[in-house]
Amino acid sequence: MFTGIITDIGRILALEDRGDLRARIGTAYDVDGIDIGASIACDGVCLTVVALGKSPSNWFDVDISAETVSKTAIGRSGWQVGKRLNLERALKVGDELGGHIVSGHVDGVAEVIAMAKEGDSTRVTFRVPEELARFIAPKGSVALNGTSLTVNEVEGRAFGINLIPHTQMVTTWGDVAVGDAVNLEIDTLARYVARMRDWDARAE
């Protein structure tokens, strides 16, 4: 489990196709404190650490299945060497829950369709797949590229969020552009509320 509060910006150092895709990610995390098999959310995708190292700087390796590549923005936008990634280590008992509960299991891919400055902040509008639109509500939470964000407004398949300067500075959101594909994870609570409504509708 994660919280959607980004704690490091990693960088892809190497990619290798081994049937699955292996990625080496540079990080500021102390790799002495990371175990093989640990979970790290990389742009919102929960991935398992399979190797660690310190030369020339701290790094960890993850394997990404073809299924994960096809269902996430990894397949839409393509990871490339040098790309920056939002990183978050798994939640520990007693950690502060500063965002919302995030599983790291991406539900789909959203597309950035508009951006506009609003004071010092940036308003970003996304379009989502039809089957996910009903799970997104004004003032609700979503995880986008692993970042816990609050929905401002919803109109059909489109919804908007505001990025304050701090968020753009400490995440990769300062790099975002119209046309980008981003990983979307809907709020777990919204998923269960929708499920309950479906059951109630069937019972009527």
Quote the domain boundaries for residue 63.
Answer: 8-89
CATH classification at residue 75: 2.40.30.20
pTM: 0.91
Residues 55 and 114 in one domain: no
List, in sequence order, every residue forming a beta bridge with 193; answer none if it has no partner: none
Q: How many CB atoms lie within 10 A of CB 204?
A: 4
Residues 17 and 85 in one domain: yes
- Of residues 202 and 105, more confidence is placed in 105
Does 128 map to a domain? yes
User: What is the predicted pLDDT for the residue at 97?
Assistant: 74
Residues 120 and 48 in one domain: no
pLDDT band at 201 (very low <50, low <70, confident <90, very high): low
46-58 tens-digit pLDDT: 999 999 999 999 9
Which residues make Cβ contacts (< 8 Å) with residue 167, sequence separation at least 6? 147, 149, 173
User: What is the predicted pLDDT for the residue at 100?
Assistant: 86
67-96 tens-digit pLDDT: 999 999 998 877 999 999 999 999 887 777
User: What is the predicted pLDDT for the residue at 22?
Assistant: 96
Residue 90 burial (10 A CB sphere; 0-12, 13-18, 19+): middle
Does 184 map to a domain? yes
Does 3 map to a domain? no
Residues 127 and 188 in one domain: yes
Residues 113 and 60 in one domain: no
| Model confidence at 198: pLDDT above 90 | no
Q: What is the percentage of the chain residues whose pLDDT exceeds 90? A: 81
Residues 59 and 145 in one domain: no
Render 135-192 in DSSP notation, one character per residue.
Answer: T--TT-EEEETTEEEE--EEETTEEEEEE-HHHHHHSGGGG--TT-EEEEEE-HHHHH
Residues 132 and 199 in one domain: yes
Residues 65 and 139 in one domain: no
Contact of 151 with 141, CB cutoff 8 Å: yes
Residues 181 and 125 in one domain: yes
| Model confidence at 203: pLDDT above 70 | no
Contact of 39 with 105, CB cutoff 8 Å: no
Does 100 map to a domain? no
| Model confidence at 190: pLDDT above 90 | no
Residues 186 and 121 in one domain: yes
User: What is the predicted pLDDT for the residue at 197?
Assistant: 67
Does 116 map to a domain? yes
Domains identified in the chain, total number: 2
Q: Which helix (H) or strand (E) holds 21?
A: strand 20-26
What is the mean pLDDT of the segment spanning 150-168? 96
Residues 67 and 149 in one domain: no
Average pLDDT, whole number, for the chain?
A: 92
Does 101 map to a domain? no
User: What is the predicted pLDDT for the residue at 199?
Assistant: 66
